[in-house]
């Protein structure tokens, strides 16, 4: 943690995994800028983080789908707060339905926020990092980016896309001093996860997650902070899975019928 870069921008930082990363960094005395489209949640998060008495917390309201506002926000943060040395792209959403009848609006919404929003954020905040020749970026994919998943064609496609994007940026930017890695969480207790139908969530835990429980956001935050830090100085283009063993096996059925029962 000592060597986590100075100013970190966290998109989708008003709650969930982004807020947990911010909490970890601020507690360690690091300044953080929370960027989110939810102004109310952003204000609450800033109050909660300020109460920790650690690093300075600033906020910016931004929809990461906005191709004009996102680079403008990055330039504003550089000019008024300071050089951004790290970026974590947590802004994301989900909207589930069967692929055969999935409305195009739902497909576009999830791809626009999860994939295009990640691309725009990386492009906007990396500009100054590339100019200085120093920076670290962590994107958030998912175990849904490593296989198919019924009812989530849009989400799965977006998370596969984030992995491809991350690896490509790692190749384009690594030799220019900017490392880019992804974290792939399994089930994490957040408002986003609560949007997934309950029966599905129960099945994921009962049948697919060897640790037998969802994680708290704080359990992902440490992995993200590690990837930003100097301790990860040779990690570039990697996808680090934090899923309680969800993706460890191809025929996992905990509490159900498998060859060990």
Ligand X SMILES: NC(=O)c1ccc[n+]([C@@H]2O[C@H](COP(=O)([O-])OP(=O)(O)OC[C@H]3O[C@@H](n4cnc5c(N)ncnc54)[C@H](O)[C@@H]3O)[C@@H](O)[C@H]2O)c1
Residues found near ligand X in the complex (CB under 6 A): 11-12, 14-18, 36-38, 41, 62-65, 90-93, 113-114, 117, 140, 142, 185, 187-188, 190-193
What tokens appear for 186 in the block?
């399994």
Cα–Cα distance measured from residue 108 to residue 24, given in angstroms and rounded to the nearest whole number:
33
| Closest distance to ligand X from the beta carbon of 30 (Å) | 19
CB 218 within 8 A of CB 189: no
| Closest distance to ligand X from the beta carbon of 82 (Å) | 21
CB 79 within 8 A of CB 54: no
| Nearer residue to ligand X within complex by CB, 133 or 212 | 212
Q: Does 155 participate in catalysis according to the annotation? A: yes
| Nearer residue to ligand X within complex by CB, 134 or 196 | 196
Helices (H) and strands (E) in the chain, counts: 9, 7
- How many beta carbons lie within 10 A of that of residue 71, not counting itself? 16
| Closest distance to ligand X from the beta carbon of 141 (Å) | 7
Give me Rg for the CA atoms of the chain: 18
| Closest distance to ligand X from the beta carbon of 134 (Å) | 25
What tokens appear for 178 in the block?
């900017």
Cα–Cα distance measured from residue 33 to residue 21, given in angstroms and rounded to the nearest whole number:
11
| Nearer residue to ligand X within complex by CB, 192 or 211 | 192
> Distance of CA 7 to CAs 10, 112, 150, 169, 214, Å?
10, 26, 39, 21, 30
DSSP 91: -
| Nearer residue to ligand X within complex by CB, 25 or 91 | 91
Residue tagged active-site, from 155, 193, 234, 250: 155
Positions marked active-site: 155
């Amino acid at each position: 943690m000592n060597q986590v870069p100075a100013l970190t921008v966290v998109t989708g930082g008003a709650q969930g995994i982004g807020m947990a990363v911010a909490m970890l960094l601020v507690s360690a005395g690091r300044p953080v800028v929370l960027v989110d489209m939810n102004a109310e949640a952003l204000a609450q998060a800033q109050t909660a983080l300020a109460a920790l008495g650690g690093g300075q917390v600033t906020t910016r309201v931004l929809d990461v789908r906005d191709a004009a506002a996102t680079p403008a926000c990055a330039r504003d943060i550089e000019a008024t707060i300071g050089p951004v040395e790290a970026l974590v792209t947590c802004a994301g959403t989900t909207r589930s339905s069967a692929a055969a009848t999935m409305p195009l609006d739902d497909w576009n919404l999830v791809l626009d926020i999860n994939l295009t929003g990640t691309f725009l954020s990386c492009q906007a905040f990396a500009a100054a990092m590339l100019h200085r020749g120093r920076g670290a970026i962590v994107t958030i994919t998912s175990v849904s980016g490593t296989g198919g998943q019924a009812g989530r064609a849009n989400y799965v496609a977006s998370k596969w896309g984030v992995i491809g994007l991350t690896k490509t940026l790692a190749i384009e930017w690594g030799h220019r001093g900017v490392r880019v890695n992804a974290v792939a969480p399994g089930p994490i207790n957040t408002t986003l996860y609560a949007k997934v139908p309950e029966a599905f969530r129960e099945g994921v835990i009962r049948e697919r997650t060897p640790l037998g429980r969802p994680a708290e956001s704080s359990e992902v935050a440490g992995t993200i902070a590690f990837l930003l830090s100097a301790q990860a100085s040779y990690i570039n283009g990697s996808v680090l899975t934090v899923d309680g063993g969800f993706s460890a096996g191809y025929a996992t059925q905990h509490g159900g019928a498998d060859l060990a029962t």
